[in-house]
Structure 1
Amino acid sequence: MNFQHTEDRRMLADSLNRFIAEQYGFDARDRIARSAEGLSRDMWRRFCELGIIGAFFDETVGGFGGDGFDVAVVFEALGRGLVVEPFLDALIVGRALAHAGNESQREVIAKMVDGAVMVSFAHDEPGSHYELSRVSTRAGRSDQHWTLNGAKGVVLQGEQADMLLVSARTSNDEYDEAGISLFLVPRDAKGVTVRGDGKIDGGRAAEVLFDNVALDADALVGVEGDGFATLVHSVGYGLVALASEAVGAMDVAKEHTLEYLRTRKQFGVAIGTFQALQHRMADVLLEIEQARSAAINAAAAVGGAGVERERALSAAKYSVGHIGALVAEESIQLHGGIGMTWELPLAHYAKRLVMIDHQLGDEDHHLARYMELGRQSAA
C-alpha cells in the first residue's frame, strides 16, 4: 500500500495549514468558539474557497476528490487548528446526498462546496447510545406529503444550519435497521424548534424538536425505509474524519509538550533531561503513531464495503478514543498546573481530544462493535 499523498493532496494540505496559521490562530479561534454564534460565516466561506468541501466528493457531484485520504488530509489540518466550523456535518450530509439523493438534492452539494449553504446532521437522539439503528423520531405519509415528529440531540451548529439531514422511522420498531428514512429539512420550516448551547470544546450544539413538520415528497432522500445503508456509508466517512482530526490535534499537543520540556527548567536544567519524563514522552509518541496508523488504515478501507470496512473504521475510532485521552492526560501532567489554564492552547486541544471520543460512538461502543464484527466474519 502506498501511503504517499498525491501532489494535489499535499498542495491542499499546505494551503490549508498555511491559512490556519495565518488567519485562524488560537486567539482568533478562541473568539469564534466562544462567540454567540459559535462559528464564523466569513471563515466558513474562506475555508470553502480553499476547496475543503470539494475535496470530499468526486467529479460526478461537483467535487474534485472523494477518496478517504482526501478527507483525512483536510481533517488532520482542521484538527491542528481546532477549527469549529461544521465541516464534519458537511462531509456526512454531503456523502449521504451523493449516495442516495435525487438530482435536486445533489445540487445542495454544489452550494456547500461554494460555501453558500451550511448543513447539520440531525441523527442522535436522547438515549440512543450511539446505535445508528435506534431511531424513534417518526415520519408519516399522507398523499404526497410527510409529517415529521420527534427530537434530536447534540446537533452540531444546528442554530446556524440552513438545512438539516434528519433520520426518522417510517416503519418497523425503534431498533430495526429497516424502516429508517432520511429527510432534508429546512431549519426554518414551520414546526422546527432549535435550542442551542455552548460546547465544552468550543462552538455550539443544539437540541432540535419537530412538531408536525410538513414536508413535500421531494424532502425524502433515497428510498423510503432504506436510510440505514446510507447512514452506514456516510457515517463511515465521518469516522475517518474524526480519526484524522484527532491525529492532527495529538500532533500539536505533542509539539507543545516537547517544547515545554525543552524550555522549562528545574534545579537549573531543562526538565526534558529527566529520564522519567523522557520515558513518559516516548510512550506518548509511540501511541500517537499507533493512532496515525489506525487512521491511515481507516482512510484506505472506507471506500470499500462489508465487514472489513466497518472493522477498520471501528478500530480507528477506538484507537483515537483511548489514545486521545492518554495524550490529553499526559500532556497536561507533563506541563503541571499551567496545563489546565484557559489561556494555554494545550488545554483546548485536550478538551477536543476527549470530546472526539464521544462523537459517532465512543471507544467502548466501537470496541464492542469491532468484536461483534469479528464474530460475524468468523461465522
Structure 2
Amino acid sequence: MDFNFSDDQEQLRDAVRKWVDKGYDFARRSATEAAGGFSRDAWEELAELGLAGLYIPEDDGGMGMGPVEGMVVMEELGRGIVLEPLAQALISGAVLSAHADEATKENWLPRIAGGQAIVVLAYQERKARYRLDQCAAQAAASGSGYTVTGEKSVVPVGDEADAYIVPAQLDGKIALFLVERAASGVESRGYGLQDGSRGAEVVFDKAAATLITKDGLAALEHAVDVGIAATCAEAVGVMDKTMDITVEYLNQRKQFGVTIGSFQALRHRVADMKMQLELARSMSYYATLKLNAPTAERRQAMARAKYQLGVAMRFVGANSVQLHGGIGVTDEYIGSHYFRKLTQMEMSFGDTMHHLGEVSARMQDTAGVFA
C-alpha cells in the first residue's frame, strides 16, 4: 500500500502550515484564549483557505476532498494547537452532505463552506457517558416542522455557533435535527474548556427544528466517527510538536555543565515517546482510511484508533512534563498548553476506557486480530 501523499495533498499541508506558523502564533492563540477561546476572524481565515468546506461537494461551494486531506489539515492545526474547532465544520459538512435533503443542503452547505455559518454537533448529555444510543432529548411534530426539547453539554463554541446538529427521540427512535441558535426556545451558556477553547451548555425548549434524517443513530455514528478521525489526526500534530518542544528543551537545559539531552536515561525516555508517536500516527492513518468503510468496520476501526491514540497522548504528554520539570506546567511556557490540549483530546468523542470497552465488545472469533 502506498502511503505517500500526492502533490496536491502536500501543497495543502504546506498552505495550512504556513498559516499556522505566520498567522496563528502563540501570542495570537494566548490572546484568543484570554478573550474567551474563539475568534471569528481566525475562523474566517480558515474558511478563506477552503478548510471549512473540505468535505462539502464542489457543487455546494466546497472543496470536495476526502478523509486523507482532512487528516493532513488536522495534523497541521494540531501542531499549532489552534483553538477554533475546524473538526466541527468537517462533521457538519459530511453529515449534511450525506443525510440532509436538497433544500437543507442548499441553505446551509455554501454558508458553512464560506465561513458565514458555524454548525456544530450538540450530542453529549450528562447521563449518556459517551453512549450514542442514550438520548433523553425529545422531538415532536409541530405543524409542517418539528420542535426539540432537551439539554446538551460541552457543545463546541455553543454560544457562538449559528446552528446545531441535534439528536433527539422522535416516535421512540433517535432522529437528527438542525436547530438554529437564533430560534425561539434556545438558550446557551458559554465557558472556557481545559485546553483554552470554548464550550457551552445548550438548552432547547420546544425550539423549531429542521429534520435531517429519521435514521438518526446511524447519522450520529457517522458524525462522531468523522470527529474521532479528525481528533486522531489533530492529536498526532499536537504530539509531533510536543516532541519538538521537549527535544529542544533537553538540548538547551544544562546540569553538571552539560545538556541534559546527553543523559542516556532521558534519551531512552524520548525514544519511548517517539515510538508512541509513530504508533499513534499509524493508527490515525488506519482510522482515516476506514472512514468510508461499511458501518460496522468503520466503527470498529475508530474505537481501535481512539483507544491507541488515548494511550499515546497520555504517555507523550506526561513524559514531556516530567522531562521539563516544573516549567512544564507553567502557563507562561508553551509546552504546558500542548499538555492541556492532549489531556482534553483524550476525553473527546469517548475517553480511552470507553473505547477499550468498544474494542472488546466488537471482538469476533479473531479476538481482535485484523482479518
| Shorter-chain TM band | over 0.9
Distance 1:243 1:8 in 2: 22
Residue 212 of structure 2 aligns to which amino acid in structure 1? V
> In the TM superposition, what are the counterparts of 1:1-379 in structure 2 within 5 Å?
1-36=1-36, 38-107=37-106, 108-172=108-172, 179-215=173-209, 219-222=210-213, 224=214, 226-375=215-364
Structure 1 residues not aligned, in runs of 5+: 173-178
Deviations 1:180-217 (A, max 9, x none): 111111101111110111111112110001112234xx
Deviations 1:318-362 (A, max 9, x none): 111111011111001101111111011110000110110111101
Change (3 A) 1:377 1:58: farther
Greater mean alpha carbon deviation, residues 256-265 or residues 232-241: 232-241
Per the TM alignment, residue 87 of structure 1 is displaced from its structure 2 partner at its CA by 1.0
Distance 1:67 1:374 in 2: 28
Distance 2:162 2:54 in 1: 21
Residue 318 of structure 2 aligns to which amino acid in structure 1? E
Per the TM alignment, residue 143 of structure 1 is displaced from its structure 2 partner at its CA by 3.7
Per the TM alignment, residue 122 of structure 1 is displaced from its structure 2 partner at its CA by 0.7
CA contact (8 A) 2:179 2:207 kept: no
CA contact (8 A) 1:118 1:163 kept: yes
Change (3 A) 1:372 1:61: farther
Distance 2:205 2:298 in 1: 37
CA contact (8 A) 2:242 2:320 kept: yes
Per the TM alignment, residue 376 of structure 1 is displaced from its structure 2 partner at its CA by 8.2
Distance 2:365 2:16 in 1: 41
CA contact (8 A) 1:67 1:303 kept: no
Deviations 1:196-255 (A, max 9, x none): 11111112110001112234xxx1002x2x111111122211111000000000000000
The alignment's TM-score, normalised by the length of structure 2, stands at 0.95
Distance 2:9 2:19 in 1: 15
Of all paired residues, the percent bearing the same amino acid is: 39
Distance 1:94 1:47 in 2: 15
Distance 2:339 2:361 in 1: 30
CA contact (8 A) 1:56 1:70 kept: no
Greater mean alpha carbon deviation, residues 17-26 or residues 65-74: 65-74
Change (3 A) 1:142 1:46: closer
Distance 1:66 1:13 in 2: 13
CA contact (8 A) 1:100 1:230 kept: yes
Distance 1:50 1:301 in 2: 26
CA contact (8 A) 1:250 1:327 kept: yes
Distance 2:362 2:59 in 1: 32
Structure 2 residues not aligned, in runs of 5+: none
Distance 2:70 2:271 in 1: 29
The alignment's TM-score, normalised by the length of structure 1, stands at 0.93
Distance 1:318 1:65 in 2: 29
Counterpart secondary structure, 1:155: coil
Between the two proteins, the alignment pairs up a number of residues equal to: 367
Counterpart secondary structure, 1:210: strand
Distance 1:39 1:32 in 2: 6
Counterpart secondary structure, 1:194: strand
Distance 1:290 1:158 in 2: 33
Distance 1:102 1:306 in 2: 21
Distance 2:300 2:206 in 1: 39
Distance 1:301 1:106 in 2: 25
Per the TM alignment, residue 57 of structure 1 is displaced from its structure 2 partner at its CA by 3.2
Distance 1:313 1:153 in 2: 22
